[in-house]
Amino acid sequence: MSSDAVWFHEDDYCQIELLPKAAEDFARRQAGEIDTFSAAHDDGGQGWTDIYLRSEPPTSLGDLRIALGDFANVVPPEYRRIDKVTTGYSTHAEPAQRTVAWRVRGETVFAGYDEAGIVDAVWFSDVVPGMEEFLIRLAGRWPMILAHWPWSRVVDLTDPAAVRAFLSEGS
């Protein structure tokens, strides 16, 4: 992909995502259910015998009514905005409608928005040390959590110590 475009695999959509802090209890229960299901369906380290489908949260990021421009103003200036975002699988790619991204040091932040320009999803290719100030700044504007579904982890972004501890674990 060229430097003015970014692609994400359809399976990566919202695997590491921001949710409103109001969804924290839901997310923590969901993370526990994922761990329980995963343990029950482990195929001896070769994969899993079934697929777990997460439930929709009781409140969405869109409920915070974050305008895309306001979100973009919180993204650090060293993150380069990319307006051409595509998604797909294997060799299939198609435009990701109403989605923009920002890249820094090989990591990508994606933001989906609705017809009115309200952010309805934010997800990451990965979260790594160096992103802590960005995550903390976001939660300073809007109360949020980070749900890292592959790790079954939920981080309260309004707690800077929790953010730093989580990011120091590495991913």
> What tokens were used for 167?
């990011």
Domain boundaries, the chain: 14-79+103-155
Answer yes or no: are the C-beta atoms of 20 and 60 closer than 8 Å.
Answer: yes
**So what's the pLDDT on residue 134?**
95
50 Cβ neighbours under 8 A, 6+ residues apart = 37, 41
Tell me the percentage of the chain whose pLDDT exceeds 90: 85
What digits encode the pLDDT tens for the residues 118-150?
999 999 999 998 899 999 999 999 999 999 999
**So what's the pLDDT on residue 45?**
85
Spatial separation of the C-alpha atoms in residues 108 and 7, rounded to whole Å: 10
pLDDT at 3 over 80: no
Confidence of residue 53 (pLDDT cuts 50, 70, 90): very high
Cross-sheet strand order for the sheet of 153-156: 80-82, 99-104, 107-113, 119-124, 16-20, 144-148, 153-156
Terminal CA-to-CA distance of the chain, rounded, Å?
A: 24
The reported pTM is: 0.92
